[in-house]
Amino acid sequence: MTKPPLTLYLAAPRGFCAGVDRAIKIVEMALEKWGAPVYVRHEIVHNKFVVDGLRDKGAVFVAELDECPDDRPVIFSAHGVPKSVPAEASRREMLFVDATCPLVSKVHIEAQRHFDAGLQMVMIGHKGHPETIGTMGQLPEGEVLLVETVEDVADIEVRDPSKLAFVTQTTLSIDDTKDVIAALQDRFPAIVGPHKEDICYATTNRQEAVKAVAPKSDALLVVGAPNSSNSKRLVEVASRAGCSYAQLVQRAPDIDWRALEGIASVAITAGASAPEQLVNEVVDAFRERYDVTVELAENAVENVEFKVPRVLRQPA
């Protein structure tokens, strides 16, 4: 039986960013250095496949520090943690390694600098997301006001409109965030922004790659986890860029083949915490059903690399 022809556009950059790659390496190197078990507070990154693989190697994932014994290493996830977490680990004399992405740490430093200068903070982010919780937890309670939408900006009550600054979660939609920033600047003309945009290079690059490929694709699939902020934003970006069918899938078995009947082209990308192995799995699933022509749709080249903490580079 003849397979129907299909063009697959592989968006690039896609998949692992430098912060995710570093966080996974930290867990693997900790297991090599100290042996299993090594405890990890929260998912190291938002991807079940990655987390399950590390669990198989001896990582134990927990929600809070009180689930960790004092005598085993604990690692903090790439999303960052409130200041109270390392403070508690220090009090208990635990061996801990912070896998917070350096670009998230940059936002933490900005927030502290503005606070030290007497400014109240506004954070643009998603309520309940680990990165938002971690960033807001850098400052005393009540010092950071959270907004998610343009509508939220109208409702916040600030201490002094002339003494305000804002930061953003690193994995937001670039376009949505611009609108929220514009609303903040319109209502509070004196508000101070970051020296350099907080949304990270990897989020920006993946969204721009999707914008470039979406208009010429009948469908676009984002390989990623449902709790991954940057992956969900890629679906939204694709829809707004003109792709009539954009869907998030964790693995190849999640593809809704009936929704794809009659299509001639599909774009594939992956969130920053999704491994390339899962992209290849999706491509192979298409090859089983279609006569596939693969085209690389490259929008930027990434060569960023972050060092792992010194404690892991030193001999045991």
Per-residue pLDDT of the chain (316 residues; tens, 9 = 90+): 799 999 999 999 999 999 999 999 999 999 999 999 999 999 999 999 999 999 999 999 999 999 999 999 999 999 999 999 999 999 999 999 999 999 999 999 999 999 999 999 999 999 999 999 999 999 999 899 999 999 999 999 999 999 999 999 999 999 999 999 999 999 999 999 997 788 899 999 999 999 999 999 999 999 999 999 999 999 999 999 999 999 999 999 999 999 999 999 999 999 999 999 999 999 999 999 999 999 999 999 999 999 999 999 887 6
Sorted by where each starts, the structural domains of the chain and their CATH numbers stand as 5-16+201-298 (3.40.1010.20), 18-101 (3.40.50.11270), 103-187 (3.40.1010.20)
Nearest-angstrom CA–CA distance, 79 and 44:
8
Q: What is the number of other CB atoms lying within 10 angstroms of the CB of residue 243?
A: 23
What is the pLDDT, as a whole number, of residue 266?
98
Nearest-angstrom CA–CA distance, 253 and 240:
26
What is the pLDDT, as a whole number, of residue 198?
87
What is the pLDDT, as a whole number, of residue 195?
78
Q: Name the catalytic one among 32, 110, 131, 236.
A: 131
Q: What is the 3-state secondary structure (H, E, C) of the chain?
A: CCCCEEEEEEEECCCCCHHHHHHHHHHHHHHHHHCCCEEEECCCCCCHHHHHHHHHHCEEEECCHHHCCCCCCEEECCCCCCCHHHHHHHHCCCCEEECCCHHHHHHHHHHHHHHHCCCEEEEECCCCCHHHHHHHCCCCCCCEEEECCHHHHHHCCCCCCCCEEEEECCCCCHHHHHHHHHHHHHHCCCCECCCCCCCCHHHHHHHHHHHHHHHHCCEEEEECCCCCHHHHHHHHHHHHCCCCCEEEECCHHHCCHHHHCCCCEEEEEECCCCCHHHHHHHHHHHHHHCEEEEEEEECCCCCCCCCCCHHHHCCC
Task: Enumerate residues 6+ apart whose C-beta is below 8 A from 141.
Answer: none
What is the pLDDT, as a whole number, of residue 104?
97
Nearest-angstrom CA–CA distance, 198 and 254:
33
131: annotated active-site residue: yes
Say if CB 166 and CB 139 are below 8 A apart.
Answer: no
